[in-house]
Amino acid sequence: MPLTLHDIKPIGLCVTTEELFDTKRFIHNYCDGLILRGKDLQLCNDLTMLKRQLNAFNTQRKFFDGYKVIITSNIDKIIGLVSSRYSYEPEDVEKIRMNAKDMIKKVIKAESFEEILGLENEFKTKVTLPTYELFIRDLKRLKEKII
């Protein structure tokens, strides 16, 4: 049974969001792949300027507020996907929904990139791994239906 992008979207979004919780790596490595390897001098200059602003005390707050918006939006999408895809497991879905909503509250209240970094393990254990378990169970269930 081949997997499609549609099938892996809930777990893919969890993994992507989990990466966002690693704020230290984000700040320090922002666009380094393009900056260091880029042949487009204008783009490299623009990215370097953005990286300086991201790391500057005076301008870091605007990036932080946008960062929180992206994380909360991703978590909201995870809630929607988990709720619709795995509705046949209502207890597990409700637990993920409650944990995800709690994570949104914590992200909104966070005052620094370091606070968000501190939420990484909690997100992984309370949202990503339970979603992954539902994903695996769903694959097994679908395989049994086909056979």
Instruction: Note the pLDDT tens digit of each residue in 34-77.
Output: 776 777 788 888 888 888 898 888 888 889 999 999 999 999 99
Q: Does pLDDT of 138 surpass 60?
A: yes
Question: HSE-up of 96 (CA within 13 Å, CB side)?
Answer: 31
CA distance 70 to 56: 21
In whole angstroms, give the CA distance from residue 87 to residue 53: 44
pLDDT at residue 23, rounded to an integer: 92
